[in-house]
Structure formats: structure tokens, C-alpha cells
Amino acid sequence: SACTRSNSNRAAIGHLQRQRYGRLYPLLLVSTDGSTVRLRYGEPKRILMMPLDSNTLPEAERKARLRRQFPRKPKAKEEETFEGIDLDTYKKFWKK
């Protein structure tokens, strides 16, 4: 019977194939059709959603999603000018 002695070199070679972080966290994976799968993931997250392929969507829904993702910038409001205001009507509010 051959007896193998375990030393530090054997331990270093035997553990090269292990993962960097051995702990896996429970995760809920949601696919694009709405189905869910429970699996174990290396990072602590609760839900991971698969990205939706916009090429498979109808044209109207694809444009609606793009509008929600990139809303329009608000238009700049015009500045108020005091050219058309009669100052004599407000004379009573001025302090003397």
C-alpha cells in the first residue's frame, strides 16, 4: 500500500481550481417573457432581470420604450420683459 504524505505543496496544487469566492447567494432570475428561475449567484442580489431585445418588439412599443428611456428636454421659457407694463399703476406700492 502506497502512502502519500500531504504537505504544503500538495495543498497548493489541489486548490487551484476553486472559485475566488466560494459563497453563492440565492437569486431570482426574470427572463423577458416573465418566467422566473431561482439560482445561486456570486454577488448578493435579490432579482436579476434579463435585458429585452428591442428588435423583436412591435414598432409602436419599441418607440414608446425609447421615449420613456430618453425623455425630451424641457423647452426654455421666454423671459418676461417689463416693456408693456404701466408703472404708474404700481406707484402706490413704492415707499417714499
CA distance 41 to 19: 12
Q: Specify which residues 27 forms β-bridges with.
A: 39
- DSSP secondary structure letter of residue 42: S
Of 25, 67, 69, 64, the C-alpha closest to 47 is 25
> Domain locations in the chain?
20-71
pLDDT in tens, 6-58: 656 555 555 545 556 578 889 999 988 889 999 988 888 888 888 888 888 88
- The pTM (predicted TM-score) of the whole model is 0.41
Q: Is 60 helix (H, G, I), strand (E, B) or coil?
A: helix
